[in-house]
Amino acid sequence: MERKPALLYRQPGIRVTPEWFVVAERRFAVRELSNLQTVRGSRDRLTTRAVGATAVVLVVVGAALGFRGLDHLSGATYLALAVAAFVPGALAWAGHRLRPRSYELWGYYHGLNTLLFSTDEERQYGQVTRALLRAQEVTRLGGIAEPIASSQVWVPRPR
């Protein structure tokens, strides 16, 4: 009787067994994966550009006010400058919350450094990574379905 391979993780589009790691219809043989690495993706380009542009505008406004002097400005102008100084920080915070950096799993497959999996959900990334590491352990141990630590351990009797 042939046993089905143990399923270590399954979500829509993702499946991890001791033999295969399948992501979005891409299939990787677990025994051929090596040197797994976690990498954080780049920051959102739109947020980075908005913060940079706002900072440049603030520097230009500050330089222009420095030549002319701040003693003749109205209270509304000071309020507008305070709001303008707050904008880069608010944009950076919003970009960090709304568009987080992705978690990426890279590894060597057939001799090439390959992006294996990417998500912006930390919990899902951790679950997939742990399942893949378990799959590699099972493969290294020759197909043992359960970890050795969960088996009964022999303890010698005292004489």
The CATH fold assigned to 9-41+102-150 is PH-domain like (2.30.29)
* Residue 157 near residue 54 (C-beta atoms within 8 A): no
Q: Domains of the chain: which residue ranges?
A: 9-41+102-150, 45-98
User: Tens place of pLDDT for every residue, the chain, 159 residues?
Assistant: 455 567 899 999 999 999 999 999 899 999 999 999 999 988 778 777 877 887 787 787 777 777 766 677 777 877 877 787 787 778 777 877 788 888 999 999 999 999 999 998 999 999 999 999 999 998 887 765 555 555 555 666 776
